[in-house]
């Protein structure tokens, strides 16, 4: 389980609960029409924005924020690649066949290409295409959650307008006015909640996972091309560490 997701969600919900409890307004938090308007509307608009082959991955991707698949750290990937480079240096490329059975699928695919004597350009082109397709698939799901994060508050605003219309309609009935005001207030709350506690954090978390997975595959590609040349493990390590450092500098520059 991803501890940061659990801690963040628990802290955020706890702060909201405390604020509402302090204001003695917890009783109006649940309103079925408001929930249907915001949740149903957000899902509907997202469905209209993205094709079904993207949307079918949304539930599984949401679960990934709590139960992420195991992604090997860059340091461990580098250590493993250097270990394999030493093996290749000592026993040749053919030794990879029986020593990579438990490694990641991407690396095993590249090893098969090496064993089948693909040239360097063909290996690089095919594996880069695989990385590109994987990244594109991940980004589509990320965009779906980001879009939902935009639609949620808009439906909350729509609910507010509906509630205001109800207030204007029932000016002579305080009880009906109260119900209409509840819709106006609670839909806004639901819209903000959907965006800031579900949709946008999920999009950000998926992007982080995707970037980490992509970095690992980039390192594997560098390693595979190094295996083909039977480069020294120390030379490979320097290449891989430079790539990681350049990647980190690029991310810092983009965030800055």
Same domain membership, residue 88 and residue 201: yes
Same domain membership, residue 55 and residue 4: no
Averaged over 61-75, what is the pLDDT? 87
Domain that holds residue 84: 31-255
pLDDT of residue 187: 87
Q: How many helices (H) and strands (E) does the chain have?
A: 11, 0
Same domain membership, residue 125 and residue 13: no
| Tokens representing residue 79 in the block | 């250590």
Same domain membership, residue 83 and residue 156: yes
Same domain membership, residue 208 and residue 190: yes
Same domain membership, residue 131 and residue 248: yes
Give the pTM. 0.83
Total domains in the chain come to: 2
Same domain membership, residue 111 and residue 18: no
Same domain membership, residue 129 and residue 71: yes
Task: For residue range 208-230, list pLDDT tens digits in order.
Answer: 999 999 999 999 999 999 999 98
156 CB burial (10 A radius; 0-12, 13-18, 19+): buried
Distance CA 61, CA 202 (A): 8
Task: For residue range 132-168, list pLDDT tens digits in order.
Answer: 999 999 999 999 999 999 999 999 988 888 878 777 7
Same domain membership, residue 35 and residue 23: no
Query: Higher pLDDT residue, 41 or 20?
Result: 41
Task: For residue range 4-29, list pLDDT tens digits in order.
Answer: 888 898 898 888 888 877 767 666 77
Distance CA 15, CA 62 (A): 22
Same domain membership, residue 12 and residue 103: no
CB neighbour list of residue 151: distance below 8 Å, 6 or more residues apart: 41, 42, 45, 46
Same domain membership, residue 57 and residue 22: no
Same domain membership, residue 103 and residue 194: yes
pLDDT of residue 18: 83
């Amino acid at each position: 389980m991803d501890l940061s997701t659990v801690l963040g969600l628990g802290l955020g919900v706890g702060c909201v609960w405390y604020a509402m409890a302090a204001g003695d307004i917890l009783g109006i938090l649940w309103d079925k029409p408001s929930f249907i308007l915001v949740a149903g509307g957000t899902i509907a608009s997202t469905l209209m924005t993205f094709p079904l082959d993207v949307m079918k991955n949304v539930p599984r991707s949401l679960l990934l924020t709590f139960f992420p698949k195991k992604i090997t750290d860059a340091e461990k990937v580098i250590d493993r690649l250097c270990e394999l480079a030493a093996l290749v240096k000592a026993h040749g490329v053919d030794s990879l066949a029986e020593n990579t059975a438990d490694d990641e699928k991407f690396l095993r695919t590249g090893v098969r290409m090496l064993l089948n004597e693909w040239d360097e350009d063909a290996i690089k082109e095919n594996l880069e295409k695989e990385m590109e397709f994987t990244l594109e698939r991940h980004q589509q799901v990320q965009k779906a959650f980001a879009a939902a994060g935009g639609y949620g508050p808009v439906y909350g605003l729509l609910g507010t307008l509906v509630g205001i219309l109800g207030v204007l309609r029932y000016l002579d009935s305080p009880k009906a006015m109260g119900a209409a005001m509840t819709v106006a207030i609670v839909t806004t709350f639901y819209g903000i909640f959907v965006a800031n506690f579900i949709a946008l954090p999920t999009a950000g978390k998926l992007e982080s996972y995707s970037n980490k997975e992509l970095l690992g595959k980039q390192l594997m590609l560098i390693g595979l091309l190094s295996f083909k040349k039977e480069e020294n493990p120390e030379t490979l390590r320097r290449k891989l560490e430079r790539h990681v450092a350049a990647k980190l500098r690029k991310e810092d520059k983009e965030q800055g």
